[in-house]
């Protein structure tokens, strides 16, 4: 068990493998264990850093609500403290928002970015006809928050998985260790949603990130995630997009081989570019 203080908070982390540095940033409710299915394959190509974001599982849970910017600064401090900067950084869901938010302010920390389904719903706010799935998703999130305020973490976690980010029955199909983490970390979702900036990003700053980026989505993800990914791809100068067939919001859990292979391919492509005369 390893723990380090970064940005004034104690963060649990683990490192595996050898090669180019890669940092994996988990999404809401989860922890570093959500990356277990892809870790062996990625560790053959990368030196991989996984960690629990503040408030999650084995990391310190500071009192009071936090902000996504704090998560971004935690990530930056962790990378610098452990010698992982610059690195490839892959994030899922809220972890993807965290990665992109940091890249908009400190692009030099990154060799490349992989972001799957960032829930940056603020990008859809100016759309006079936002996707109906986004409107429905917002109502379901409100219902999840009602469960949390009433101290019903299991009901909240189940609804979040089955109705917001995946599909009915998905909760029961998750590994037990993942379900346990989702319930234990449920209170952090209230903190994230209380942050006025949780769903927004500085597009002008993000456009200033000129490094390679891979924006991914799944054919079974809620459609509003794809709308956000498409908007981001237009703003990031070197962004490419990729769709995981048959996968949803967490392809590293449902399709670990395909996810790991795509990350390796992405990094290998950048190596070819760097080595070209």
Closest CA to 206 of 98, 119, 124: 98
> Would you say residue 186 lies in a domain?
no
Do 82 and 13 touch, CB atoms closer than 8 A?
yes
Closest CA to 184 of 1, 33, 5: 33
Q: What is the pLDDT of residue 43?
A: 98
25 token code pair = 């940033």
DSSP state of 212: -
> Would you say residue 162 lies in a domain?
no
Do 141 and 193 touch, CB atoms closer than 8 A?
yes
Comparing 194-198, 209-213, 254-258, 268-272, the range with the smallest average pLDDT is: 268-272
How does strand 9-16 pair with strand 20-25? unpaired
Tokens 């991914």 belong to which residue? 216
Q: Residue 78 belongs to a domain with what CATH number?
A: 3.40.50.1820
Q: pTM for the whole thing?
A: 0.94
> Would you say residue 19 lies in a domain?
yes
The structural domain count of the chain equals 1
> Would you say residue 152 lies in a domain?
no
Do 252 and 259 touch, CB atoms closer than 8 A?
yes
Q: Across residues 89-99, what is the average pLDDT?
A: 98
Give pLDDT tens digits for 35-92: 999 999 999 999 999 999 999 999 999 987 789 999 999 999 999 999 999 999 999 9
> Would you say residue 116 lies in a domain?
yes
pLDDT of 215 strictly over 70: yes
Label residue 220 by pLDDT band (50, 70, 90).
Answer: very high
Do 54 and 96 touch, CB atoms closer than 8 A?
no
Beta strands in the chain (DSSP E): 2-6, 9-16, 20-25, 46-51, 87-92, 110-116, 213-218, 239-244
DSSP per residue, 95-124? HHHHHHHHHHH-GGGEEEEEEE----GGGG
Range of the domain at 38: 2-127+197-275
> Would you say residue 155 lies in a domain?
no
Report d(CA 18, CA 268) in Å as an integer: 15
Give pLDDT tens digits for 120-167: 999 987 665 555 556 666 788 899 999 999 999 999 999 999 988 888
> Would you say residue 243 lies in a domain?
yes
Do 217 and 225 touch, CB atoms closer than 8 A?
yes
How does strand 9-16 pair with strand 2-6? antiparallel
> Would you say residue 174 lies in a domain?
no
Give pLDDT tens digits for 223-261: 889 999 999 999 999 999 999 999 999 999 999 999 999
Burial zone of 15 (CB within 10 Å; 0-12 exposed, 13-18 middle, 19+ buried):
middle
Distances from the Cα of 274 to the Cα of 2, 42, 121, angstroms: 33, 21, 35
């Amino acid at each position: 068990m390893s723990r380090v203080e970064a940005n004034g908070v104690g963060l649990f982390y683990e490192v595996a493998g050898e090669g180019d540095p890669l940092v994996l940033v988990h999404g809401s409710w989860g922890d570093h264990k959500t990356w277990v299915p892809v870790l062996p394959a990625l560790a053959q190509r990368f030196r991989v850093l996984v960690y629990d974001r503040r408030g999650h599982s084995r990391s310190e849970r500071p009192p009071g609500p936090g902000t996504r910017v704090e998560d971004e600064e935690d990530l930056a401090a962790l990378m610098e403290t452990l010698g992982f900067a610059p690195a490839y950084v892959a994030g899922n869901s809220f972890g993807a928002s965290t990665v992109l938010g940091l890249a908009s302010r400190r692009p030099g920390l990154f060799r490349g970015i992989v972001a799957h389904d960032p829930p940056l719903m603020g990008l859809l706010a100016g759309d006079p006809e936002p996707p109906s799935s986004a409107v429905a998703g917002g109502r379901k999130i409100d219902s999840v928050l009602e469960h949390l305020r009433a101290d019903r973490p299991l009901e909240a976690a189940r609804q979040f998985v089955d109705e917001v980010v995946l599909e009915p029955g998905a909760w029961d199909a998750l590994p037990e260790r993942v379900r346990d983490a989702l319930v234990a970390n449920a209170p952090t979702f209230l903190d994230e949603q209380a942050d006025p900036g949780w769903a927004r990003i500085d597009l002008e700053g993000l456009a200033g990130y000129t490094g390679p980026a891979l924006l991914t989505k799944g054919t079974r993800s809620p459609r509003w995630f794809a709308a956000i990914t498409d908007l981001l791809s237009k703003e990031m100068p070197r962004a490419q997009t990729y769709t995981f067939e048959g996968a949803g919001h967490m392809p590293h859990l449902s399709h670990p081989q395909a996810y790991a292979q795509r990350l390796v391919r992405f990094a290998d492509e950048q190596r070819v570019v760097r080595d070209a005369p």
